[in-house]
Amino acid sequence: MQKERLSLPEEFSLLLLVQNSGYFRGRIFQPVEFFTAASCMMELFYRGKLKEIEQSVTVIDSTRTGLSFLDAVMDTIERANKPRNLFKWFIYFSNKRLRTRQRIADHLVRRNILRSVETHIFQVFPVTRLMEVKPTVREEIVRNMREKMLDFAPLDEQTLGLFFLIKQSGRVKQYFSKNELTSIKHTLYRLQHEEAHVLSFRLAKMVNKAYKIIASPRWESYGV
Domain boundaries, the chain: 8-216
At 27 the pLDDT is 43
Q: Specify whether the CB–CB gap between 113 and 123 falls below 8 A.
A: no
At 23 the pLDDT is 44
Task: Report the SS3 class of residue 2.
Answer: coil
At 222 the pLDDT is 46
At 125 the pLDDT is 55
Evaluate whether the domain defined by 8-216 bears CATH number 1.10.3720.10: no
- Mean per-residue pLDDT pooled into runs of 10, the chain (224 residues): 84 78 43 88 97 94 95 93 91 81 90 76 59 83 96 93 93 94 94 90 94 67 47
H/E stretch holding 182 reads helix 178-191
What letter would DSSP give residue 153? S
At 127 the pLDDT is 56
Measured distance CA(202)–CA(198) in Å, rounded: 6
At 217 the pLDDT is 54
